[in-house]
Amino acid sequence: MPRSGGLEREIAGLKDREKRLVRLYTFGEIDDDTVRSEGEELRRRRQVLKERLSALEPVDVPSDRPIDPAMLERACVLVREWLENADTERRMMALEALQVAVTATREAAEVTGVLPIEPLPFITHEQSSPMHVAR
């Protein structure tokens, strides 16, 4: 999974693509509609990458806050359900934001990660609301 350096390189690559798009338009090689649609796609992709980048930034969490096992289990269930319904790009974003890592040996496997206290920017209220989950 790419970390912040990889995401920053992808964002820089998008800026280069934007410059090439402007150059092609300036030379009359592409029309207004193409510039609009390609420009919008580049802006959308840059926004997604910026959200992914901000989700990787560390957050100070008060260590004196007790962990409620029932809430932790509920959060894990909701994350699992969200991942099951997400497309590949959204899954990758969530796994990066949750900092999921798997370490495996012949004897055991360990999955580690971070559950956020605050909602992630790419998860909408509707997607994260427990009111939408049937129990």
Q: For residue 114, is it within any domain?
A: yes
Contact present, 56 and 97 (Cβ < 8 Å): yes
The reported pTM is 0.43
pLDDT given at position 64:
67
Shared domain for 75 and 50, answered yes or no, is no
Q: Is the dihedral of CA 48, 4, 73, 110 positive or negative?
A: positive
Q: For residue 93, is it within any domain?
A: yes
Task: Please write the tens of the pLDDT for every residue from 39-95.
Answer: 999 999 999 888 888 877 766 656 666 777 888 888 888 888 888 898 988 888 877
Shared domain for 52 and 106, answered yes or no, is no
User: In which domain, by residue range, is 43 found?
Assistant: 4-56
Shared domain for 39 and 12, answered yes or no, is yes
Amino acid at site 129: S
How does DSSP assign 32-76, residue by residue?
A: HHHHHHHHHHHHHHHHHHHHHHHHHS-----TTSPP-HHHHHHHH
Shared domain for 43 and 88, answered yes or no, is no
Task: Please write the tens of the pLDDT for every residue from 16-28.
Answer: 999 999 999 999 9
pLDDT given at position 97:
76
Shared domain for 125 and 80, answered yes or no, is yes
Task: Please write the tens of the pLDDT for every residue from 93-116.
Answer: 877 777 878 888 889 888 888 766
Between CA 115 and CA 75 the distance in angstroms is 8
Sequence-distant (6+) residues with CB within 8 A of 18 are 39, 42
Q: For residue 106, is it within any domain?
A: yes
Shared domain for 52 and 73, answered yes or no, is no
Q: For residue 63, is it within any domain?
A: no
35 pLDDT more than 70:
yes
Task: Domain count for the chain, please give it.
Answer: 2
Q: For residue 62, is it within any domain?
A: no
DSSP state of 123: S
Amino acid at site 30: I
Between CA 114 and CA 92 the distance in angstroms is 15
Angle between helices 4-26 and 32-56 (to 10 degrees): 170
